[in-house]
Chains A and B, each alone.
Chain A
Amino acid sequence: MFVFRYDKTFEGLLTAVFDAYSRKTFPDTLLSEAEPAPMFMEQEYRVVTETGKSTRVWMALNKKLSREVCGMLMHVWLSELPKSDELLLRYMRKVFDSPHSVTTNFTDDDVVQVEKIARKVSRERMHLIQFVRFIKAADDIFFAPVSPIYNALPLTLHYFTDRFADQKWLIYDIRRRYGYFYDLNTAEEVTLNDDTHLLGGKLDEKLMAQDEKLFQDMWKTYFQALTIKERLNPKLQRQHMPRRFWKFLPEKS
Chain B
Amino acid sequence: MNELVLEKLKVLAESAKYDVSCSSSGTTRKNRPGAIGSAAGWGICHSFTEDGRCVSLLKIMLTNNCMYDCAYCINRRGNDIRRATFTVQELVELTIEFYRRNYIEGLFLSSGVVNNPDYTMERMVRVVKDLRTVHRYNGYIHMKSIPGASPELVGEAGKYADRLSVNIEISKEQNLKLLAPEKDHQSVYRPMFYIQQGVLSSAEERKRFRHAPRFAPAGQSTQMIIGATDESDKDILQLSSALYQRPSMKRVYYSGYIPINTYDTRLPVLKQAPLVRENRLYQADWLMRFYGFRANEIVNETFPNLDLEVDPKLAWALRHPEAFPVDLNKADYAMILRVPGIGVKSAKLIVASRKHGRITSSTLKKIGVVMKRAQYFITCNELSTFTVNEAQPEYVRNVLTEKRSSKRESDNRQLSIIFPD
Q: What residues of chain A have their CB less than 8 Å away from a CB belonging to chain B?
A: 100, 104-107, 112, 126, 129-136, 142, 144, 159, 162-167, 211, 214-215, 217-219, 221-223, 225-237, 239-241, 249, 251
The contact of A221 among B9, B38, B100, B362, by CB within 8 Å, is B9
Within the complex, the shortest CB–CB distance from B357 to chain A, in Å, comes to 6
The 0/1 profile, CB within 8 Å of A marked 1, for residues 46-71 of chain B is 11111111110011100000000000
Are B47 and A104 interface neighbours, CB within 8 A?
no
A166–B137 Cα gap in the complex (Å)? 11
Which of the segments B11-19, B122-130, B283-291, B384-392 contacts the partner chain?
A: B11-19
Are B102 and A162 interface neighbours, CB within 8 A?
no
Q: Inside 8 A of A164's CB, which chain B residues have their CB?
A: 36, 100, 102
Total count of chain B residues near the partner, CB < 8 A: 61
Are B52 and A233 interface neighbours, CB within 8 A?
yes
Are A106 and B367 interface neighbours, CB within 8 A?
yes
Which of the segments B26-34, B175-183, B221-229 contacts the partner chain?
A: B26-34
B50 closest partner in A (C-beta): A227
Q: Inside 8 A of B366's CB, which chain A residues have their CB?
A: 106-107, 112
Question: B355 within 8 Å of A by Cβ?
Answer: yes
Question: B352 within 8 Å of A by Cβ?
Answer: yes
Interface of A is mostly: helix
The 0/1 profile, CB within 8 Å of A marked 1, for residues 39-50 of chain B is 010001111111
A227–B34 Cα gap in the complex (Å)? 36
The contact of B44 among A129, A167, A229, by CB within 8 Å, is A129
The contact of A134 among B33, B47, B100, by CB within 8 Å, is B100
Between B37, B47, B275, B367, the greatest number of chain A beta carbons within 10 A of the residue's beta carbon is seen for B47
Are A237 and B31 interface neighbours, CB within 8 A?
no
A231 closest partner in B (C-beta): B51
A198–B75 Cα gap in the complex (Å)? 44
B101 closest partner in A (C-beta): A134
Question: B293 within 8 Å of A by Cβ?
Answer: no
Q: Inside 8 A of A144's CB, which chain B residues have their CB?
A: 102
The 5 closest A-B pairs by CB, nearest first: A236-B52, A231-B51, A225-B13, A104-B352, A233-B52
The contact of B98 among A131, A132, A215, by CB within 8 Å, is A215
Within the complex, the shortest CB–CB distance from A172 to chain B, in Å, comes to 14
Q: Inside 8 A of B360's CB, which chain A residues have their CB?
A: 107
Question: B97 within 8 Å of A by Cβ?
Answer: yes
Q: Inside 8 A of A211's CB, which chain B residues have their CB?
A: 1, 97
Are A166 and B36 interface neighbours, CB within 8 A?
yes
